């Protein structure tokens, strides 16, 4: 069947080169009016570069991108022109002004003006409130971005698009990476609404389930080249993956599970002032313990308290049955607890330092005498561990900030492994990384549990955590609302978990 809708965007033979990399190599495709098009590919496939080109932020080295603006073909040569023509994007790395309020961020660069030529704050707050309500965000227009949880910040960047009147093309770059399910639903409602109005959408996501749900068609990129565009009915998750990765993958969550051994970690009566209350659980050798909950359920906060990053009011930590006193992250490491934090760019990595320093920085004392580091061991260890976790890099002197998300995460894991911890806490380890790297991280988890380590896995992505965990703990509003063992997990449905996760007081 031929699609009779008007074409709104034509991408013609676009090439973009960076030193040593062909980011985009002769990419061509078209987008129809009112179409929701998924754009998929592994990290480094060129999705972000293509988006930047469409937005006019980057110029293609060859080829051109044309947009149908009221029947005329125009080329957006900078971001301002793109906006003038109704092209908007929410970028992957939350890019908003953290010290400004939500309202100010909504209207950044185009604040409403009153008769006196001054900023019309009243209108700004009213309009913002409307958007906030529409997206069911339960925040105030005056709230500072900095004080919002990261999921809410992501929501602000998404809802920001709705402030504009003349929207023609919207690009969503990994919009759901940080969102919990309930907010994802709201986003999908918004996308449908846009579609009804004839807005065209380019939707970038690593979550193929979502793509199957909301997109009309899908364009696949691989290593900077165009692979194919297909109507969504003609693809399956597996066929998509094989087109993206170039190999078949039936079930990426299918890892080998170990028989849980002795107790490694026991948490008793953990409470803090507001995030969690009376938490008890244990972690055993060779086990993956999953934590599920909506954002704000208190999962990360518990882990941060265990590792001495935040304070707690009451509660005891037992490592291998012995009560331990953990006051700061260095105590946690000493007792063999390694913590991979949710925000790897902020908490996990020194982005402007080389891989070598990043891998060693937790544990310099292990390769030093009287504070003097053995440079030879430093290099050897970095080489060794970066190989163990399979960091793809020409050299360990590469700066961490130049790596892809997946490789960055592997560096963080390598850093933790250097301290040889028995207990690993992985908080959202696969946020914003591609399927290939995800699979590698799952394999790594398999390897670690086989070595007798215990892993606590926090993930907002239910298929992932339900697929990997041996045992599942569900939390809502700071309390544990359900626990599922291995047998129960086999027949567990996502809906059941969600219901337990959204229990109100």
Partner 1 sequence: MGKTKNSFKDLIQHTEFTLGAIIVLLFVVTSVCTDNFFTMYNITNLMKQCAITGVLAVAQTFIIITGGIDISGGAITGLACMVLALLQRDTNMNFWLTLVIAIVVAVFAGFVNGIIIYDFKVPAMIATLGMSTIIRGIIKIISNALTVSGLDKRILNMGNSSIFGVLPTLAVIWLIVALIIFLILKHTIFGRNLYVIGSGINVAKLSGIKVRNMFLSVYALAGLLYAVAGIMLAARVQSALPTGGEGYDMNAIAAAVIGGASLSGGRGAISGTLLGTILMVLINNAGVQFGLNTHVLEITSGILIVFSVTMDMMKNRKKA
Binding site for partner 1 (CB under 8 A): 19, 307, 309, 328-330, 332-333, 339, 341, 346-353, 357, 360-362, 364-365, 368, 371-373, 375, 399, 401-402, 415
**Residue 375: CB minimum distance to partner 1, A:** 7
Give exposure, 216-242, as e/b (b: 16+ Cβ within 10 Å). bbbbbbbebebbebbebeebeeeebbe
In the complex with partner 1, the residue whose CB is nearer, 106 or 339, is: 339
In angstroms, the CA 115 to CA 107 distance is 18
Of 471, 478, 484, nearest to 504 by C-alpha is 478
In the complex with partner 1, the residue whose CB is nearer, 10 or 22, is: 22
- Helix (H) or strand (E) run with residue 16 in it: strand 7-18
* Residue keyed to tokens 């040889």: 420
Residue 256 has what DSSP assignment? P
In the complex with partner 1, the residue whose CB is nearer, 140 or 402, is: 402
**Residue 334: CB minimum distance to partner 1, A:** 8
Residue 301 has what DSSP assignment? H
Helix, strand, coil percentages (3-state) for the chain, rounded to 5, are 35, 25, 40
Whether the Cβ atoms of residue 131 and residue 103 lie closer than 8 Å to each other: no
**What would the two tokens of residue 303 be?**
């882990």
**Residue 304: CB minimum distance to partner 1, A:** 9
Of 484, 480, 471, nearest to 501 by C-alpha is 480
In the complex with partner 1, the residue whose CB is nearer, 245 or 350, is: 350
In the complex with partner 1, the residue whose CB is nearer, 191 or 400, is: 400
In the complex with partner 1, the residue whose CB is nearer, 3 or 346, is: 346
Is the CA virtual torsion 96, 97, 98, 104 positive or negative?
Answer: negative
**Residue 366: CB minimum distance to partner 1, A:** 10
**Residue 332: CB minimum distance to partner 1, A:** 8
Strands 21-32, 200-204: pairing is unpaired
In angstroms, the CA 280 to CA 268 distance is 5
**Residue 273: CB minimum distance to partner 1, A:** 21
**Residue 425: CB minimum distance to partner 1, A:** 11
**What would the two tokens of residue 68 be?**
């149908």
In the complex with partner 1, the residue whose CB is nearer, 421 or 436, is: 421
Sequence-ordered list of residues with C-beta below 8 angstroms from that of 198, at least 6 positions apart, any chain: 33, 34
In the complex with partner 1, the residue whose CB is nearer, 127 or 422, is: 422
**Helix ranges restricted to H, 261-337:** 299-306, 329-334
For residue 307, the tally of other CB atoms under 10 A from its CB is: 23
In the complex with partner 1, the residue whose CB is nearer, 69 or 364, is: 364
């Amino acid at each position: 069947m031929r699609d009779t809708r008007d074409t709104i965007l034509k991408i013609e033979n676009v090439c973009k080169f960076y030193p040593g990399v062909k980011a985009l190599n002769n990419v061509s495709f078209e987008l129809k009016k009112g179409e929701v098009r998924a754009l998929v590919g592994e990290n480094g496939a060129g999705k972000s570069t293509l988006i930047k080109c469409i937005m006019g932020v980057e110029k293609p080295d060859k080829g051109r991108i044309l947009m149908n603006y009221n029947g005329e073909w125009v080329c957006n040569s900078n971001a301002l022109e793109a906006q003038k023509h109704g092209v908007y994007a929410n970028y992957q790395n939350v890019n908003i002004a953290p010290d400004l309020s939500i309202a100010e961020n909504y209207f950044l660069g185009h604040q409403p003006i009153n008769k006196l030529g001054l900023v019309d704050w009243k209108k700004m707050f009213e309009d913002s409130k409307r958007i906030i309500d529409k997206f069911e965000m339960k925040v105030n227009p005056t709230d500072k971005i900095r004080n919002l949880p990261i999921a809410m910040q992501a929501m602000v960047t998404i809802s920001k698009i709705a402030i504009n009147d003349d929207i023609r093309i919207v690009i969503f770059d990994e919009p759901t990476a940080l969102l919990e399910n309930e907010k994802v639903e709201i986003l999908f409602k918004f996308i449908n609404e846009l579609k009804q109005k004839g807005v065209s959408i380019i939707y970038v996501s690593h979550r193929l389930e979502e793509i199957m749900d909301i997109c009309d068609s899908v364009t696949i990129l691989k290593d900077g080249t165009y692979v194919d565009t297909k109507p969504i009915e003609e693809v399956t998750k597996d066929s998509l993956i094989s087109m993206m990765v170039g190999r078949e993958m039936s079930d990426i969550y299918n890892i080998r599970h170990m028989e849980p051994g002795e107790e490694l970690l026991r948490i008793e009566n953990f409470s803090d002032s507001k995030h969690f209350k009376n938490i008890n659980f244990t972690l055993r050798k060779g086990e993956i313990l999953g934590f599920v909950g909506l954002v704000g359920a208190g999962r990360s906060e518990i882990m941060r308290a265990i590792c001495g990053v935040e304070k707690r009011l009451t509660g005891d930590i037992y490592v291998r049955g012995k009560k331990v006193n953990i006051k700061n992250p260095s105590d946690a490491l000493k007792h063999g607890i390694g913590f991979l934090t949710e925000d790897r760019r902020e908490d996990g990595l020194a982005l402007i330092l080389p891989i070598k320093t990043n891998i060693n920085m937790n544990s310099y004392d292990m390769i030093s005498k009287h504070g003097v580091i053995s440079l030879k061991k430093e290099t050897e260890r970095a080489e060794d561990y970066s190989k163990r976790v399979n960091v793809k890099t020409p050299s360990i002197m590469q700066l961490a900030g130049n790596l892809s998300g997946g490789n960055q995460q592997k560096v963080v894991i390598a850093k933790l492994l250097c301290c040889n911890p028995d207990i690993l806490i992985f908080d959202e380890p696969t946020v914003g990384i591609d399927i290939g790297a995800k699979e590698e991280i799952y394999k790594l988890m398999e390897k670690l549990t086989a070595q007798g380590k215990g892993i606590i896995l926090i993930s907002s992505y239910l298929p992932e955590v339900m697929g990997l965990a041996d045992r599942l703990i569900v939390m809502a509003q700071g309390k544990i609302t359900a626990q599922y063992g291995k047998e129960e997990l086999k027949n567990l449905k996502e809906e059941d978990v969600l219901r337990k996760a959204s229990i109100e007081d």
